[in-house]
Amino acid sequence: MTASPALQLLIDLGTTRLAGRLLDAQGALLAEAGLDNPQFVHGTDVIRRLQAATEGAAAELQQQALQAVTQLTAELLRQAGQPLAAVRQGLLAANPAMITLLRGQPVTGLLRPPYRPPSLDGVWLHEAGLPPLYLLPAVSGFVGGDLLAYVYGQLPLVGPTLLIDVGTNGEMALWDGQAWWCSSVAAGPTFEGAHLACGMRAEAGAVYDVAVEEDRLRLRVIGDGLPRGLCGSGLTAAIGAAVAAGLVGADGGLRPAAAIDSNLARYLCQDAGQPALCLYRDARCQLLIRQEEIRQFQLAKGALHAGAECLLERAGLAPPALERVLLSGALGQALAPQTLKNVALLPEYMIKKVRFVGAGVLVGLGRLAVRPEGLAELDALRRAMRPYPLSGTPAFEQAFLAALDFASGPA
Protein backbone atom coordinates (compact mmCIF):
# COMPACT_ATOMS: atom_id res chain seq x y z
CA MET A 1 0.00 0.00 0.00
CA THR A 2 1.28 3.47 -0.87
CA ALA A 3 2.20 5.45 2.23
CA SER A 4 0.12 8.49 3.04
CA PRO A 5 2.66 11.02 4.35
CA ALA A 6 0.13 13.17 6.21
CA LEU A 7 -1.24 10.70 8.76
CA GLN A 8 -1.68 11.97 12.32
CA LEU A 9 -1.01 9.95 15.47
CA LEU A 10 -2.99 10.73 18.65
CA ILE A 11 -1.98 9.33 22.05
CA ASP A 12 -3.71 9.70 25.41
CA LEU A 13 -1.07 8.54 27.90
CA GLY A 14 -3.12 7.75 30.98
CA THR A 15 -1.87 6.69 34.39
CA THR A 16 -3.71 3.36 34.13
CA ARG A 17 -4.19 2.96 30.38
CA LEU A 18 -3.05 4.35 27.04
CA ALA A 19 -5.45 5.02 24.17
CA GLY A 20 -4.58 5.99 20.63
CA ARG A 21 -5.98 6.82 17.22
CA LEU A 22 -4.56 7.17 13.73
CA LEU A 23 -6.17 9.74 11.45
CA ASP A 24 -5.80 10.52 7.77
CA ALA A 25 -5.02 14.02 6.49
CA GLN A 26 -8.70 15.01 6.65
CA GLY A 27 -9.13 13.77 10.21
CA ALA A 28 -10.96 10.54 9.36
CA LEU A 29 -10.34 7.63 11.75
CA LEU A 30 -8.12 4.87 10.34
CA ALA A 31 -7.33 2.88 13.48
CA GLU A 32 -7.99 2.86 17.22
CA ALA A 33 -6.38 0.84 20.01
CA GLY A 34 -5.39 0.86 23.66
CA LEU A 35 -3.18 -0.94 26.16
CA ASP A 36 -2.48 -0.97 29.88
CA ASN A 37 0.25 1.30 31.22
CA PRO A 38 3.17 -0.99 32.22
CA GLN A 39 4.30 1.46 34.89
CA PHE A 40 1.67 -0.02 37.23
CA VAL A 41 4.41 -2.28 38.67
CA HIS A 42 5.74 0.85 40.38
CA GLY A 43 2.33 1.87 41.73
CA THR A 44 -1.23 2.43 40.57
CA ASP A 45 -1.12 6.20 41.14
CA VAL A 46 1.29 8.93 40.06
CA ILE A 47 2.54 9.72 43.57
CA ARG A 48 3.89 6.20 44.07
CA ARG A 49 5.53 6.32 40.66
CA LEU A 50 7.11 9.69 41.34
CA GLN A 51 8.43 8.35 44.64
CA ALA A 52 9.78 5.28 42.83
CA ALA A 53 11.56 7.59 40.39
CA THR A 54 13.35 9.33 43.29
CA GLU A 55 14.43 5.91 44.58
CA GLY A 56 16.24 4.85 41.42
CA ALA A 57 13.47 3.73 39.05
CA ALA A 58 13.35 6.90 36.88
CA ALA A 59 15.09 5.35 33.85
CA GLU A 60 12.90 2.25 33.99
CA LEU A 61 9.72 4.33 34.27
CA GLN A 62 10.80 6.40 31.27
CA GLN A 63 11.53 3.32 29.19
CA GLN A 64 8.23 1.72 30.15
CA ALA A 65 6.35 4.81 28.97
CA LEU A 66 8.32 5.04 25.72
CA GLN A 67 7.89 1.34 25.01
CA ALA A 68 4.16 1.54 25.65
CA VAL A 69 3.77 4.51 23.30
CA THR A 70 5.88 2.72 20.67
CA GLN A 71 3.86 -0.49 21.05
CA LEU A 72 0.58 1.37 20.73
CA THR A 73 1.85 3.23 17.65
CA ALA A 74 2.90 -0.04 16.03
CA GLU A 75 -0.54 -1.55 16.66
CA LEU A 76 -2.30 1.44 15.10
CA LEU A 77 -0.06 1.25 12.04
CA ARG A 78 -0.66 -2.50 11.78
CA GLN A 79 -4.43 -1.98 11.80
CA ALA A 80 -4.18 0.72 9.14
CA GLY A 81 -1.67 -1.19 7.00
CA GLN A 82 0.72 1.76 7.01
CA PRO A 83 4.46 2.15 7.69
CA LEU A 84 5.87 4.50 10.28
CA ALA A 85 7.06 6.80 7.49
CA ALA A 86 3.42 7.49 6.62
CA VAL A 87 2.90 9.41 9.87
CA ARG A 88 3.79 13.07 9.58
CA GLN A 89 3.60 13.81 13.30
CA GLY A 90 1.72 13.00 16.48
CA LEU A 91 0.09 14.64 19.47
CA LEU A 92 0.39 13.22 22.98
CA ALA A 93 -1.59 14.34 26.01
CA ALA A 94 -1.04 13.29 29.61
CA ASN A 95 -1.02 14.62 33.13
CA PRO A 96 2.13 16.50 34.21
CA ALA A 97 3.53 13.57 36.20
CA MET A 98 3.29 11.22 33.23
CA ILE A 99 4.94 13.78 30.93
CA THR A 100 7.76 14.33 33.41
CA LEU A 101 8.40 10.58 33.66
CA LEU A 102 8.20 10.17 29.89
CA ARG A 103 10.82 12.87 29.38
CA GLY A 104 13.07 11.51 32.12
CA GLN A 105 13.07 14.82 33.98
CA PRO A 106 13.55 15.35 37.73
CA VAL A 107 10.32 14.67 39.61
CA THR A 108 11.04 16.13 43.04
CA GLY A 109 9.20 19.38 42.23
CA LEU A 110 5.96 17.41 41.88
CA LEU A 111 6.31 15.83 45.31
CA ARG A 112 6.47 18.98 47.42
CA PRO A 113 4.92 22.46 47.38
CA PRO A 114 4.35 24.31 45.12
CA TYR A 115 4.02 21.04 43.12
CA ARG A 116 5.43 22.12 39.75
CA PRO A 117 7.08 20.02 37.06
CA PRO A 118 10.38 21.16 35.53
CA SER A 119 8.39 22.71 32.68
CA LEU A 120 4.76 23.45 31.89
CA ASP A 121 5.41 24.16 28.21
CA GLY A 122 4.64 21.92 25.28
CA VAL A 123 7.64 20.26 23.64
CA TRP A 124 8.46 18.07 20.66
CA LEU A 125 9.72 14.57 21.46
CA HIS A 126 12.00 12.81 18.97
CA GLU A 127 12.54 9.12 19.62
CA ALA A 128 13.52 6.19 17.42
CA GLY A 129 10.51 4.16 16.34
CA LEU A 130 8.14 7.10 16.71
CA PRO A 131 7.13 10.07 14.56
CA PRO A 132 7.83 13.53 15.99
CA LEU A 133 5.45 13.79 18.95
CA TYR A 134 4.20 17.07 20.37
CA LEU A 135 3.68 16.72 24.12
CA LEU A 136 0.87 19.08 25.08
CA PRO A 137 1.57 21.75 27.70
CA ALA A 138 0.26 21.67 31.26
CA VAL A 139 -1.62 24.25 33.31
CA SER A 140 -0.14 23.38 36.71
CA GLY A 141 1.52 20.55 38.58
CA PHE A 142 -1.59 18.35 38.53
CA VAL A 143 -3.63 19.75 35.64
CA GLY A 144 -2.17 18.64 32.35
CA GLY A 145 -2.49 18.58 28.61
CA ASP A 146 -5.01 15.76 28.82
CA LEU A 147 -7.57 18.09 30.39
CA LEU A 148 -6.67 20.85 27.94
CA ALA A 149 -7.24 18.49 25.01
CA TYR A 150 -10.59 17.35 26.41
CA VAL A 151 -11.79 20.92 26.92
CA TYR A 152 -10.49 22.02 23.51
CA GLY A 153 -12.51 19.27 21.84
CA GLN A 154 -15.75 20.59 23.35
CA LEU A 155 -15.31 24.24 22.34
CA PRO A 156 -17.13 26.48 21.84
CA LEU A 157 -19.28 26.24 24.95
CA VAL A 158 -22.56 28.03 25.47
CA GLY A 159 -23.33 28.80 29.09
CA PRO A 160 -21.60 27.70 32.32
CA THR A 161 -20.25 24.17 31.93
CA LEU A 162 -18.29 21.78 34.15
CA LEU A 163 -16.05 19.28 32.33
CA ILE A 164 -14.69 16.29 34.27
CA ASP A 165 -12.15 13.76 33.04
CA VAL A 166 -12.88 10.77 35.27
CA GLY A 167 -9.71 8.81 35.94
CA THR A 168 -6.82 8.21 38.30
CA ASN A 169 -6.39 11.98 38.44
CA GLY A 170 -9.88 13.46 38.41
CA GLU A 171 -9.12 16.60 36.42
CA MET A 172 -11.91 19.13 35.96
CA ALA A 173 -12.45 22.49 34.31
CA LEU A 174 -15.24 24.98 34.83
CA TRP A 175 -16.37 27.64 32.38
CA ASP A 176 -18.44 30.04 34.49
CA GLY A 177 -19.57 32.06 31.49
CA GLN A 178 -16.71 34.55 31.75
CA ALA A 179 -13.61 32.75 33.00
CA TRP A 180 -11.99 29.31 33.20
CA TRP A 181 -11.21 27.50 36.45
CA CYS A 182 -9.53 24.12 36.82
CA SER A 183 -8.43 21.62 39.44
CA SER A 184 -7.81 17.93 40.05
CA VAL A 185 -8.40 15.33 42.75
CA ALA A 186 -6.64 12.07 43.53
CA ALA A 187 -9.18 9.37 42.67
CA GLY A 188 -6.82 6.43 42.19
CA PRO A 189 -7.45 3.60 39.69
CA THR A 190 -10.93 2.79 41.03
CA PHE A 191 -12.93 4.23 38.13
CA GLU A 192 -10.99 2.04 35.70
CA GLY A 193 -11.85 -1.01 37.82
CA ALA A 194 -8.11 -1.56 38.24
CA HIS A 195 -8.37 -2.13 42.00
CA LEU A 196 -10.85 -4.99 41.55
CA ALA A 197 -9.82 -8.63 41.50
CA CYS A 198 -12.39 -9.03 38.69
CA GLY A 199 -11.67 -5.66 37.05
CA MET A 200 -11.04 -5.37 33.32
CA ARG A 201 -11.04 -2.82 30.55
CA ALA A 202 -14.22 -1.94 28.67
CA GLU A 203 -14.10 -4.67 26.03
CA ALA A 204 -15.98 -7.85 25.11
CA GLY A 205 -17.04 -9.70 28.24
CA ALA A 206 -16.98 -6.67 30.54
CA VAL A 207 -20.09 -5.94 32.57
CA TYR A 208 -20.87 -2.30 31.83
CA ASP A 209 -24.27 -1.90 33.50
CA VAL A 210 -26.24 -3.52 36.33
CA ALA A 211 -29.89 -2.95 37.19
CA VAL A 212 -32.37 -4.29 39.73
CA GLU A 213 -35.22 -6.26 38.12
CA GLU A 214 -37.62 -7.54 40.76
CA ASP A 215 -35.57 -10.00 42.81
CA ARG A 216 -32.49 -10.21 40.61
CA LEU A 217 -29.59 -8.12 39.35
CA ARG A 218 -29.54 -7.90 35.56
CA LEU A 219 -26.05 -7.64 34.06
CA ARG A 220 -25.40 -6.02 30.70
CA VAL A 221 -22.23 -7.25 29.00
CA ILE A 222 -20.23 -5.71 26.17
CA GLY A 223 -20.66 -8.03 23.19
CA ASP A 224 -23.69 -9.74 24.81
CA GLY A 225 -21.63 -12.79 25.79
CA LEU A 226 -20.88 -14.29 29.20
CA PRO A 227 -19.45 -11.94 31.84
CA ARG A 228 -15.68 -12.00 32.32
CA GLY A 229 -15.17 -8.99 34.58
CA LEU A 230 -16.25 -5.49 35.55
CA CYS A 231 -15.15 -2.29 33.84
CA GLY A 232 -15.43 1.13 35.47
CA SER A 233 -19.03 1.81 34.48
CA GLY A 234 -20.01 -1.71 35.49
CA LEU A 235 -18.54 -1.24 38.97
CA THR A 236 -20.35 2.07 39.40
CA ALA A 237 -23.63 0.59 38.18
CA ALA A 238 -23.26 -2.52 40.36
CA ILE A 239 -22.73 -0.48 43.50
CA GLY A 240 -25.59 1.82 42.50
CA ALA A 241 -27.90 -1.17 42.01
CA ALA A 242 -26.83 -2.66 45.34
CA VAL A 243 -27.64 0.64 47.07
CA ALA A 244 -31.03 0.78 45.33
CA ALA A 245 -31.78 -2.78 46.42
CA GLY A 246 -30.78 -2.12 50.02
CA LEU A 247 -27.83 -4.55 49.85
CA VAL A 248 -25.41 -1.72 50.58
CA GLY A 249 -26.19 0.92 53.17
CA ALA A 250 -25.73 4.66 52.83
CA ASP A 251 -22.47 4.34 54.79
CA GLY A 252 -21.12 1.89 52.17
CA GLY A 253 -21.41 -1.20 54.37
CA LEU A 254 -22.68 -4.46 52.90
CA ARG A 255 -25.68 -5.59 54.91
CA PRO A 256 -26.01 -9.13 56.35
CA ALA A 257 -27.99 -11.49 54.14
CA ALA A 258 -30.32 -12.19 57.05
CA ALA A 259 -31.36 -8.53 57.06
CA ILE A 260 -32.65 -8.69 53.45
CA ASP A 261 -36.26 -9.84 53.14
CA SER A 262 -36.12 -10.76 49.45
CA ASN A 263 -34.34 -13.18 47.14
CA LEU A 264 -31.76 -10.45 46.51
CA ALA A 265 -30.12 -11.71 49.71
CA ARG A 266 -28.52 -14.48 47.63
CA TYR A 267 -26.10 -11.95 46.13
CA LEU A 268 -24.50 -11.36 49.55
CA CYS A 269 -21.71 -13.69 50.61
CA GLN A 270 -18.44 -13.98 52.48
CA ASP A 271 -15.03 -14.10 50.80
CA ALA A 272 -12.03 -14.94 52.97
CA GLY A 273 -14.01 -13.75 55.98
CA GLN A 274 -14.93 -10.44 54.35
CA PRO A 275 -18.43 -9.41 53.24
CA ALA A 276 -18.81 -9.37 49.48
CA LEU A 277 -21.36 -8.92 46.73
CA CYS A 278 -21.41 -11.82 44.26
CA LEU A 279 -22.76 -10.63 40.93
CA TYR A 280 -22.05 -13.73 38.88
CA ARG A 281 -20.45 -17.15 39.13
CA ASP A 282 -19.76 -19.95 36.68
CA ALA A 283 -17.10 -22.61 36.15
CA ARG A 284 -14.69 -20.02 34.71
CA CYS A 285 -14.99 -17.06 37.02
CA GLN A 286 -16.88 -15.30 39.73
CA LEU A 287 -17.50 -11.58 39.87
CA LEU A 288 -17.14 -10.39 43.45
CA ILE A 289 -17.10 -6.87 44.84
CA ARG A 290 -15.56 -7.03 48.29
CA GLN A 291 -16.26 -4.65 51.14
CA GLU A 292 -12.79 -3.09 50.92
CA GLU A 293 -13.32 -2.45 47.19
CA ILE A 294 -16.55 -0.61 47.93
CA ARG A 295 -14.60 1.50 50.45
CA GLN A 296 -12.04 2.36 47.77
CA PHE A 297 -14.87 3.40 45.45
CA GLN A 298 -16.27 5.63 48.19
CA LEU A 299 -12.93 7.42 48.53
CA ALA A 300 -12.67 7.96 44.78
CA LYS A 301 -16.22 9.16 44.24
CA GLY A 302 -16.03 11.28 47.39
CA ALA A 303 -12.99 13.09 46.00
CA LEU A 304 -14.69 13.69 42.65
CA HIS A 305 -17.91 14.88 44.30
CA ALA A 306 -16.09 17.22 46.68
CA GLY A 307 -13.78 18.56 43.96
CA ALA A 308 -16.68 19.50 41.70
CA GLU A 309 -18.52 21.14 44.58
CA CYS A 310 -15.48 23.15 45.74
CA LEU A 311 -14.60 24.30 42.23
CA LEU A 312 -18.05 25.83 41.76
CA GLU A 313 -17.86 27.48 45.17
CA ARG A 314 -14.42 28.94 44.38
CA ALA A 315 -15.70 30.37 41.10
CA GLY A 316 -18.69 31.87 42.90
CA LEU A 317 -21.10 30.11 40.55
CA ALA A 318 -24.51 29.40 42.07
CA PRO A 319 -25.74 25.81 41.46
CA PRO A 320 -28.79 26.88 39.37
CA ALA A 321 -26.48 28.78 36.99
CA LEU A 322 -24.59 25.64 35.96
CA GLU A 323 -26.12 24.52 32.67
CA ARG A 324 -24.35 21.24 31.92
CA VAL A 325 -21.81 18.72 33.21
CA LEU A 326 -19.72 16.82 30.67
CA LEU A 327 -18.21 13.53 31.90
CA SER A 328 -15.49 11.72 30.00
CA GLY A 329 -12.77 9.23 30.79
CA ALA A 330 -12.64 5.97 32.68
CA LEU A 331 -16.33 5.17 33.15
CA GLY A 332 -16.40 4.25 29.47
CA GLN A 333 -20.17 3.92 29.13
CA ALA A 334 -23.03 6.31 29.76
CA LEU A 335 -24.73 5.64 33.08
CA ALA A 336 -28.32 6.32 34.03
CA PRO A 337 -28.88 9.42 36.15
CA GLN A 338 -30.42 7.23 38.86
CA THR A 339 -27.16 5.26 39.10
CA LEU A 340 -25.16 8.46 39.50
CA LYS A 341 -27.64 9.57 42.15
CA ASN A 342 -27.50 6.25 44.02
CA VAL A 343 -23.71 6.38 44.39
CA ALA A 344 -23.71 10.19 44.86
CA LEU A 345 -20.95 10.55 42.27
CA LEU A 346 -21.65 14.28 42.08
CA PRO A 347 -23.83 16.75 43.98
CA GLU A 348 -27.46 15.93 43.22
CA TYR A 349 -28.17 19.20 41.44
CA MET A 350 -25.44 18.34 38.90
CA ILE A 351 -26.65 14.85 38.05
CA LYS A 352 -29.62 15.82 35.90
CA LYS A 353 -27.28 18.03 33.88
CA VAL A 354 -24.77 15.26 33.06
CA ARG A 355 -23.89 14.27 29.51
CA PHE A 356 -21.26 11.63 28.72
CA VAL A 357 -18.50 12.35 26.20
CA GLY A 358 -16.74 9.34 24.72
CA ALA A 359 -12.91 9.48 24.46
CA GLY A 360 -12.86 13.18 25.29
CA VAL A 361 -9.06 13.54 25.19
CA LEU A 362 -8.73 11.82 21.82
CA VAL A 363 -11.60 13.86 20.39
CA GLY A 364 -9.78 17.02 21.43
CA LEU A 365 -6.49 15.82 19.98
CA GLY A 366 -8.28 15.03 16.73
CA ARG A 367 -9.67 18.55 16.52
CA LEU A 368 -6.24 19.94 17.32
CA ALA A 369 -4.64 17.84 14.57
CA VAL A 370 -6.79 19.20 11.74
CA ARG A 371 -6.86 22.88 12.68
CA PRO A 372 -3.85 24.91 11.42
CA GLU A 373 -4.36 27.38 14.25
CA GLY A 374 -4.91 24.61 16.82
CA LEU A 375 -1.71 24.93 18.86
CA ALA A 376 -2.14 28.70 19.18
CA GLU A 377 -5.75 28.20 20.31
CA LEU A 378 -4.65 25.57 22.82
CA ASP A 379 -2.01 27.89 24.25
CA ALA A 380 -4.61 30.65 24.62
CA LEU A 381 -6.87 28.20 26.46
CA ARG A 382 -4.03 27.21 28.77
CA ARG A 383 -3.26 30.83 29.63
CA ALA A 384 -6.93 31.45 30.38
CA MET A 385 -7.12 28.62 32.94
CA ARG A 386 -7.06 29.56 36.63
CA PRO A 387 -5.77 26.58 38.63
CA TYR A 388 -7.35 26.04 42.04
CA PRO A 389 -5.34 23.62 44.23
CA LEU A 390 -7.66 21.53 46.38
CA SER A 391 -5.48 18.99 48.17
CA GLY A 392 -5.21 19.67 51.87
CA THR A 393 -7.46 22.72 51.90
CA PRO A 394 -10.01 22.84 54.75
CA ALA A 395 -12.86 23.41 52.28
CA PHE A 396 -12.00 20.29 50.32
CA GLU A 397 -11.39 18.11 53.38
CA GLN A 398 -14.76 19.08 54.83
CA ALA A 399 -16.57 18.52 51.52
CA PHE A 400 -14.77 15.20 51.01
CA LEU A 401 -15.87 13.78 54.36
CA ALA A 402 -19.45 14.87 53.67
CA ALA A 403 -19.38 13.23 50.21
CA LEU A 404 -18.38 9.69 51.20
CA ASP A 405 -21.89 8.33 51.77
CA PHE A 406 -24.20 6.89 49.14
CA ALA A 407 -27.88 7.71 48.73
CA SER A 408 -29.90 6.55 51.73
CA GLY A 409 -32.21 3.58 51.40
CA PRO A 410 -33.64 1.77 48.40
CA ALA A 411 -34.50 4.08 45.45
| 131 shares its domain with 202 | no
Are 128 and 37 within one domain?
yes
Question: ∠ at Cα 206 (70, 9), nearest 5°?
Answer: 25
**Residue numbers in the chain where pLDDT is lower than 70:** 1-5, 332-333, 408-411
The reply to whether 99 and 24 lie within a common domain is yes
Decide if 259 is inside a domain: yes
Residue ending a domain, choose from 259, 294, 329: 294
Q: Does a cis peptide bond (omega within 30 degrees of 0) precede residue 114?
A: yes
What local confidence, expressed as pLDDT, does residue 330 receive?
79
Q: At what angle do helices 145-154 and 360-370 cross, to 10 degrees?
A: 70
**Residue 11 domain flag:** yes
Domain end residue (candidates: 294, 318, 349): 294
> Is residue 62 situated within a structural domain?
yes
Separation of alpha carbons 103 and 117, rounded Å:
11
CA 81 distance to own-chain centroid: 30
**How many distinct structural domains can be found in the chain?**
2
Instruction: Tell me which residue range forms the domain holding 87.
Output: 7-135
Cα–Cα–Cα angle for 347, 348, 349, rounded to 5 degrees: 95
pLDDT tens digits for range 334-391: 788 999 999 999 999 999 999 999 999 999 999 999 999 999 999 999 999 999 999 8
* 337 falls within a domain: no
User: pTM for the full model?
Assistant: 0.93
Instruction: Using alpha carbons, list the distances in angstroms from residue 266 to 43, 168, 214, 217, 232.
Output: 35, 33, 13, 10, 24
- Out of 89, 111, 135, pick the residue that ends a domain: 135
- Residue 391: the pLDDT is 80
Instruction: Tell me, yes or no, whether 12 and 131 share the same domain.
Output: yes
Tell me, yes or no, whether 327 lies in a domain: no
Answer yes or no: is 224 within a domain: yes
Task: Check residue 248 and give its pLDDT.
Answer: 97
CATH of the domain at 109: 3.30.420.480
* Domain identity same for 95 and 202: no
- Flag whether 388 is in a domain: no
Can you tell me the distance from the alpha carbon of 383 to that of 286, in angstroms, rounded to the nearest whole number?
Answer: 49
Q: Tell me, what's the pLDDT at 332?
A: 59
Asked if residue 124 lies in contact with residue 134, where contact means CB atoms within 8 angstroms, the answer is yes
Same domain membership, residue 212 and residue 99 = no
Going by C-beta distance under 8 Å and a sequence separation of 6 or more, which residues neighbour residue 409? 246, 250
pLDDT for res 360: 96
Is residue 174 a part of any domain in this protein? no
What's residue 163's pLDDT? 98
